[in-house]
Amino acid sequence: MSPAVDKLEKADPYLLTPEGIKEPPVGWKASFRYFGPGLILSASIVGSGELIATTTLGAQAGFALLWLVIFSTLVKVAVQVELARWTIATGEPALTGYNKVPPKFGRIGWINVLWIIMALTKLLQLGGIIGGVAVAFSILFPFGGDPLATQSLAIWTTIVAAGSIAILYSNKYSLIERGAVGLVVVFSIVTIMIALGLPLTPFAYEGADLMSGLAFVIPAGALGAALAMFGITGVGADEITFYTYWCLEKGYARWAGPNDGSEEWKRRANGWIRVMYKDALVSWVIYTFGTLAFYLMGAAVLHERGLVPEGNEMITTLSRIYTDVLGDWASVFFLVGAIAVLGSTMWASIPSWSRMYVNLLSTVGIVDWKDWGQRVRWIRGFTVALPIIWGIAYLLIQSPVIMVQIGGVMTGVFLLGVVVAVWYLRRTETDPQLHGGTWFNAVLVISSIAIFLLGIYTVLNVLGMTPEA
C-alpha cells in the first residue's frame, strides 16, 4: 500500500481502527465543536418541505393544521436517534443495515427495494427543488424577457445544476458542513423574523388563531397536502437514513473505536451517542421553528388572500408572503431567501443521495464500500449525474409543487420500512448497554406506533381505500 493511500485510509471515517479513538466531550460547551451532522440535516429539511409543502398546506387549510406541523417534526426524532445509535455502535451506514432485515430478494433486502421506489419519486421532488431555484434566479435575472418562459428556465436550470456539481464535486465533509451552517443561519433568521413580524401587519394572527390550529382535525380537501407534509417536513425517511452517513463522516463511530466488547468501548460509545443526542436536538429546534414560520406565513397571508402556489407560478405566489407584508421592495429579498432555502436542500441532498446510491450498489456487490478510493469515485460520479437528472425531470414536468408532494407521499410510506429496520437492528446488533433510558425507550415506542399508523393510512389513501380519498 502506498503512503498516500495509507494516509487516506487512516482518515477514512467508515474504517474503525484503534488509532482513530478519541475521548468524548462532557457537557454542552465541550460538545459544541463536535456538532455538524444535524446542521446538514437542517439544511436539507428547511427547504422544499417548508418553502413549498408547508406553505402550500397553510394556504389551503389556514391555521387548522398547525398541530400537524408540530407533530410531524417531533414524532420522527426518536427513530432518527435510534438508527444513529446503531451506526455509532457498528460503524455502518443505514442502507447496509436495511439490507440485513429479512426477507430478501436475492442479494437485496425488501427495505432497500422500498428505498429504490422512494428514490425514483425523489427524482421528481429534487427536480422540483432545482426548478424552484431556477425560477427564483430567472425572475431576478431573466434570459429573453419572460422569466417563466422555457428559454430562461432551461438556461438557469443548466446553470444551477452545473454550479452545484462544480462546488460539491470534492465531496469534502468540512465543505458540506460549513456551507450548510451558512445557509441555515441565513434562512432561519430571515424567515423567523418575518413570521414574528406578521402580528404588526394587516395579516396579523392572534392567540385564538393559534389555538384553533391545535384541535387535531384535518379540514376537508386538505388530506393529500397533509399526508405529503407529514412525509416531507421534519426529519423524513430519507433524512433519517442519510443522517447516519454524516454521523460517520463527522467521526462519532471512528472516535468510539471498534467494538472490542470492553467497558472502555461502551463508555466511549455512550459518550459519543450523548453528543449525537445534542446534535439532533439542536437540529430539531432549528427545523421546527423554520417549519412553523413557513406555515404561519402561508396561513396568515396566502390563505386569507385565497392564494395557493401552483406550477411555475409557485415562486411568484409565495413572494406575496413577503411583498404583502413588507411592500413591493421585498420581492428581491424574498427571491434571495427562496434561493437560500431551496439551495440549502440541494446543498445537503446532492452529497447525501450520492452516498446512499453508492451504498445501495455496495449491498448488491457492484461497489466495494470499504474501498476508500472506489467509494469516493462512485460518489463523485453520482454528484455529477444526479443534478443533471433532477434538472431534466424539472424541465419535462415544470410543476415544483406537485413534484415535491409526490416525493413527500412516498417518503411517508418508506417510513414504515425505516421503523421496522430500526427495531430489528436494535434487537440484533446494538449492544443493550447502549440502549436509551426508560423515557427515551417509551418515546421511541410512541413515535414508532404513530409513524406506523400514519404510514399505513398513507398507503391506504394512495390506493384509494380511505373514505376521504
280 domain residue, yes or no: yes
Predicted local confidence at residue 2, as pLDDT: 42
As a whole number of angstroms, the distance between CA 361 and CA 112 comes to 10
231 domain residue, yes or no: yes
434 domain residue, yes or no: yes
Question: What's the pTM?
Answer: 0.86
Predicted local confidence at residue 227, as pLDDT: 66
C-beta neighbour count of 203 within 10 angstroms: 20
Q: Indicate the range of 226-240, 333-347, 355-369, 384-398 predicted with least confidence.
A: 226-240
- List all residues 6 or more positions away from 119 whose beta carbon is below 8 Å from its beta carbon: 353, 356, 357
As a whole number of angstroms, the distance between CA 199 and CA 195 comes to 8
Higher pLDDT, 140 or 230: 140
Q: Looking at residue 451, which CATH number applies to its domain?
A: 1.10.4160.10
Reading the block at residue 165, the C-alpha cell is: 456539481
Q: What is the pLDDT of residues 155-188, one digit of tens each?
A: 999 999 999 999 999 888 889 988 888 887 877 7
- List all residues 6 or more positions away from 264 whose beta carbon is below 8 Å from its beta carbon: none
**What is the residue type of 352?**
S
H-helix or E-strand spanning residue 114: helix 110-140
Maximum pairwise Cα distance, the chain: 69
Q: What is the pLDDT of residues 402-435, one digit of tens each?
A: 666 666 667 777 888 999 999 999 999 999 999 9
236 domain residue, yes or no: yes
Domain hosting 369: range is: 25-462
Predicted local confidence at residue 405, as pLDDT: 62
Predicted local confidence at residue 465, as pLDDT: 63
pLDDT more than 70, % of the chain: 80
15 domain residue, yes or no: no
CB burial of 435-456 (b: ≥16 within 10 Å; e: otherwise) equals: bbeeeeeebbeebbebbeebbe
Phi, psi angles (nearest 5°) of residue 104: -120, 155
Report the domain count for the chain. 1
pLDDT more than 90, % of the chain: 39
Distance of CA 40 to CAs 68, 339, 395, 422, Å?
24, 17, 27, 22
What is the Cα 229 distance to its own chain's centre?
A: 12
Average pLDDT, the chain: 83
140 domain residue, yes or no: yes
Reported confidence tier of residue 466, pLDDT bands at 50, 70, 90: low
